[in-house]
Amino acid sequence: MLTLNANAISEQREGAGSDILRLLYMASPARPVGGFAWSQGLGQACAARLVTDAASLRDWLRAILHYGLGRLDLPLLLRSLRAAAGGRAEHLLHWDRLSLAGRESAELWMEERETGRALTRLLSSQRLWPGWLPPEVQLGYVAAFALLASGLKFHSQDYRLVASAFTWNWLENQVSVAAKCLPLGQSALQSLLLELMDEVAWAVEAAAGLDDGDIGASLPGQAVMSARHERQHSRMFRS
């Protein structure tokens, strides 16, 4: 289980407001990291009419939030953040390999790899690449995000801020995908975004309570949709 200092968590970090904005800005799906190009199976789920309206979209996103991000991405992000803050390259690379191993389709694996590579380039261009990590190392997105947070002076006690920023970027991108695939108005989509926002904190806390042996996600519906998307002739997204 991830052990954190409760007193340090409750304290307000100096400059945390501007730091979190930089973190959101640099890792935004709209930036060259390229998250906007990936739907994580949602595009195919809409095409297959598994997701057709606000209710089914809410169920789809909630399941991935709690049983995907909450069981794999977020606990690995928290451990990667601790490794990055401590300058422990071998630990960071270990969690990175586990993150890649948890991707259940070729497209999901490629997304983790390609967005991580793009974020790694951004880290280098912004001089946030640490001296304790060889410059030729290629990281997946989760590990690269932890490295970005560490470079912006976030530490393991800031896990709520970092994990919430990571989850918000994912959620906002998924709602953007839905806007392109479903006949839903902006009001309905924004209402859904605000509703799921309330569940982000729960997912972060649940992820922080997982032991190493409990890390792992299984979302067969998402995996099947992503795998079917690999053979789809006409598509808007890479995944």
What mean pLDDT do residues 113-118 have? 91
Find, among 217, 166, 198, the residue nearest to 41 by Cα: 217
102's tokens = 């948890």
For residue 221, is pLDDT > 90?
A: yes
**pLDDT tens digit string along 34-72?**
556 778 899 899 999 999 999 999 999 999 999 999 999
Greater pLDDT, 186 or 92 = 92
What is the average pLDDT score of the chain? Answer: 86
pLDDT digits (tens, 9 = 90+) for 4-23: 443 443 444 444 556 778 88
Per-residue pLDDT for 76 more than 90? yes
> Which pLDDT does position 21 carry in this prediction?
82
In angstroms, the CA 165 to CA 184 distance is 25
Radius of gyration of the chain (CA): 17
By percentage, how much of the chain surpasses pLDDT 90? 62
**pLDDT (mean) for 158-180:** 91
Distance from C-alpha of 57 to C-alpha of 181, rounded to nearest angstrom: 11
In the structure encoding, which two tokens stand for residue 31, read together?
A: 């930036």
Report the pLDDT averaged over residues 190-207: 93
Percentage of residues in the chain having pLDDT higher than 70:
85
Indicate the pLDDT class of residue 228, thresholds 50, 70 and 90.
confident
Residue with tokens 């990936």: 38
Start-to-end CA span in the chain (Å): 33
The 10s digit of each residue's pLDDT in 120-163 is 998 999 899 999 999 999 999 999 999 999 999 898 888 999 99
By C-alpha distance, which of 233, 226, 231 is closest to 43?
Answer: 226
DSSP 87-122: T-HHHHHHHHHHHHHT--SHHHHHHHHHHHHHHHHH
Question: Considering only CA atoms, which of 197, 157, 169, 201 is closest in space to residue 23?
Answer: 169
Round to whole Å and give the CA distance between 119 and 121.
5
What letter would DSSP give residue 71?
Answer: I
Q: Decide which of 3.65.10.10, 3.20.20.60, 1.10.4190.10, 3.10.450.50 is the CATH code for 26-229.
A: 1.10.4190.10
Helical segments of 152-185, H only: 159-181
What is the mean predicted confidence (pLDDT) over 214-226? Answer: 93
Residues counted in the chain: 239
